[in-house]
Amino acid sequence: MLAPPKPKPLPPKPIPPKPIPPPPKTVTPPLPKPPPPKPIPRPVPRPKPVQHIVKPVPHIEQPAPPPPPPAVPVVSAAEMETATQLYAGRLRELVQANLTVPEDVQMMQLSGTTVISIRLAPDGSILSVAVVRSSGAPPIDRAAIAAARGQSYPAFAKDMPQRPTSFTLSVHLKD
């Protein structure tokens, strides 16, 4: 008898390949929410320009500024000295012309020279009169003082110092 045929061996079972691990999942963070849409601004109607009526301001004329004071002329020291000497000479003439010889001096036949100081303001007014050097005879000194005080004097010249000034004068009294 024949033996039944032997079954054919089964082909070897293929070995299943090792499973491939699934690729790692990349986690992406969730996207931020898109900003809300900006509202479209509505056009704002522009106000119509208001025309301001400007009244003309009456032009008030300002008074003219006062003119500057006249420039003081520059006077050199030499010119000032000369003007002062001329003025002192004029004072000497005025005092000498105003000198009166007192009766007692005439009777005693006295004569002498008194040196006086006259301090004047620039307008010619007398500030003081004093004896600087006596003649030695009080009546002659008094006569010299009286002659100086009894006189009016002119204002200082423009080229003289414009401040109170003292002048020293010799007053001669002869019999």
Instruction: Report whether pLDDT(74) > 70.
Output: no
What's the pLDDT score for residue 54?
67
Instruction: Report whether pLDDT(3) > 80.
Output: no
To the nearest 10°, report the CA torsion of 164, 165, 170, 175: -20
Architecture of domain 77-173: 2-Layer Sandwich (3.30)
The predicted-structure confidence for 91-114, as pLDDT tens digits, reads as follows 999 999 998 888 888 888 888 999
112 in Cβ contact with 136 (< 8 Å): yes
The predicted-structure confidence for 49-71, as pLDDT tens digits, reads as follows 667 676 666 666 667 777 766 65
- Percent of the chain clearing pLDDT 70 (strictly above): 69
Instruction: Report whether pLDDT(155) > 90.
Output: yes
Instruction: Report whether pLDDT(1) > 60.
Output: no
What's the pLDDT score for residue 164?
94
Domain boundaries, the chain: 77-173
Instruction: Report whether pLDDT(124) > 80.
Output: yes
Residues 6+ apart with CB under 8 A from 67: none
Q: Predicted confidence band at 121 (pLDDT cuts at 50, 70, 90)?
A: very high
Mean pLDDT estimate for the chain? 81
What's the pLDDT score for residue 75?
64
Residues 6+ apart with CB under 8 A from 153: 91, 94, 120, 124, 125, 126
pLDDT, mean of residues 5-23 = 70
Q: How far is the C-alpha of 88 from the C-alpha of 72, rounded, in Å?
A: 23
